[in-house]
Structure 1
Amino acid sequence: MLEIEDVRAGYGRSTVVHGVSVSVPRDGVAAVLGHNGAGKSTLLRAAAGLLVPGSGTVRLDGEDVTRLRPHQRVARGMAYVPQGQQSFPHLTTAENLRLVADGRRGGREAVAEALDLFPALRTLSGRRAGLLSGGHRQQLAIARALVTRPRVLLLDEPTEGIQPSVVAEIEETILTLARSGGLSVLLVEQHLGFALRAAARYWVLEAGRTTLSGTGGPDAERPVREALSV
């Protein structure tokens, strides 16, 4: 579904990602793991089109999208949720969702489906996004991405800095989406237990290079933790 092949990317003259390849399965989850500064977010930004790779290829469902702009990738079925629980803080929860839905075919239905996944947002529909808790802002950020009805969802640290009760809800939603079919997920996450439960495949980055990769599941946690302890 999404293939990142031998991508090098960075900022100005500084290369952060050095020839990384990641393959996201159709209707499944791939996880990119590593410490802060390992290049995980840079890799996602290159996949989303926010950075143009110095070399390498990004393919979406077989199409080379390496040089396409972010909105062109969205039109082809890609959605990106960056770090930081991003939203329009002065708009209400409902207005944030309508802003994405307006002009889209089936937009109203897509909003209803997203709210079914995050029912707490229904009760907060009239509250400004800037007044929501961090966990609910993250739910809103994911819901906004889902309103576009993507085929591939890129999630950058979706559980970072969020209260445990909401983390559990977000984890369950991501697992439900992956299991229901029709959506592939590329997940950058430091919560190893969740990432390895969700992911069919994982890649560990260190200083912008892949140091370990393998099949997800409980048996993967020990080698991943050992790799990250070095």
Structure 2
Amino acid sequence: MLQMLDVEAGYGRTSVIHGVTVEVPADGVAAVMGHNGAGKTTLLRAAVGLLPVRAGRILLDGEDVTGLAPHQRVRRGLAYVPQGQQSFGQMTTAENLQVVADGKRNGQTLIDEALDLFPVLRDLLTRRAGLLSGGQRQQLAIARALITEPRLLILDEPTEGIQPSVVSEIERTIMALTGRGGLSVLLVEQHVGFALNAAGRYYVLASGRVTAEGSGGTTASTDVRAAMAI
């Protein structure tokens, strides 16, 4: 679904990622892991189009989107949930969902489906998003992204600062979504156990380069931890 081929990107005169190749399988999950400063978020910003690439190509379902703006990639089925449980804090949970659903003929159906995936949000529809817990805001952010009906969902550190029970719920939701087909996920994560449980393929970044890659699953944990020098 997504191929990032020999991608280089950075800020100003500083290069952050160097010749990185990452592939996300159709209807599957790929995880990118690494310590802070490894270049993970830069990689995602390049995938979304928020950061122009200096070299390499980005293909979305076989189409070269390297030169397309972020909104053009969104129209082709890409959705991005950035780090930090972002929401419209002064709006209610319901309003946060509705603002994404507006303009879609099946908007209410999409909202209902998102609430089925994250039922805790049903009891919080009238509460302002700024008053939700970090875990609740993260679920809201993912629900909003899913209302856009993406073919590729990009998640940046979805478990950061979230209690274990919510981490497990997000993991189950990701696996359920990819298991029914029609959705691929690119996951950036420092939580090794979560990433390997969810992903069929993993990549480890260090200093902007891929230092290890392989198939996911819990048996890969030793190799990943060694690559990350944990």
Shorter-chain TM range is over 0.9
* Aligned-partner Cα distance in 1 for 2:125–2:143: 12
Question: Which residue identity lines up with residue 115 of structure 1 in the other structure?
Answer: L
Q: SS of the residue aligned with 1:154? A: strand
Query: Which residue does the alignment assign to 2:202?
Result: 202
* CA distance in 2 between partners of 1:177 and 1:159 (Å): 17
What is the CA–CA distance in structure 2 between the aligned matches of 1:109 and 1:69, rounded to whole Å?
29
| 3-state SS of 1:229 partner | coil
Letter of the aligned partner of 2:147 in structure 1?
V
For 1:63, the equivalent position in structure 2 comes to 63
Question: What value does the CA root-mean-square deviation take over the aligned residues?
Answer: 0.8
What is the distance in 2 between the residues matched to 1:59 and 1:48?
A: 11
Find the residue that maps to 2:27 and give its secondary structure: coil
Shift of 1:170: 1.0
Distance, in Å, in 1 between the alignment partners of 2:120 and 2:29 is 25
Question: In 1, Cα distance between the equivalents of 2:206 and 2:196?
Answer: 18
CA distance in 2, matches of 1:41, 1:154: 11
- Which residue of the partner structure matches residue 104 of structure 2? 104
Q: Deviations over 1:1-60 (max 9, x none)?
A: 111111101111111110100010000000001001100010011001110111111111
Deviation track 1:136-179 (CA, whole Å, cap 9, x = no partner) reads: 00000000000001000000000000112211111111111121
Post-superposition offset of 1:105: 2.8
Q: 2:31, 2:105 → 1: CA distance?
A: 31
Structure 1: gaps of 5 or more residues = none
Give the letter aligned to residue 98 of structure 2: R
Output one character per residue of 1:84-141: Cα deviation in whole Å (capped at 9) or x when no partner: 0001000000000000000023121111111100000010000000000000000000
Q: What secondary structure sits across from 2:195 in the alignment?
A: helix
Query: Superposed, which structure 2 residues align to 1:89-168 within 5 Å?
Result: 89-168=89-168
List, as ranges, runs of 4+ consecutive aligned residues in structure 1 with deviation greater than 6 Å. none
Bigger mean CA offset, 40-49 vs 168-177: 168-177
Q: Cα distance, 1:194 vs. partner?
A: 1.3
State the distance in 2 between where 1:219 and 1:118 align.
29
Which residue does the alignment assign to 2:51? Answer: 51
Q: Count how many residue pairs are aligned between Structure 1 and Structure 2.
A: 230
Q: Which runs of 5+ in 2 are unaligned?
A: none
Fraction of identical pairs, as percent: 69
- TM-score between the two structures when normalised by the length of structure 1: 0.98
Aligned counterparts of 2:108 and 2:14: Cα–Cα separation in 1 = 43
Q: Which residue is equivalent to 2:188?
A: 188
Q: What one-letter code is carried by the residue in structure 2 that aligns with 1:67?
A: G
Residue identity matched to 1:27: D
Partners of 2:99 and 2:18 in 1: how far apart? 37
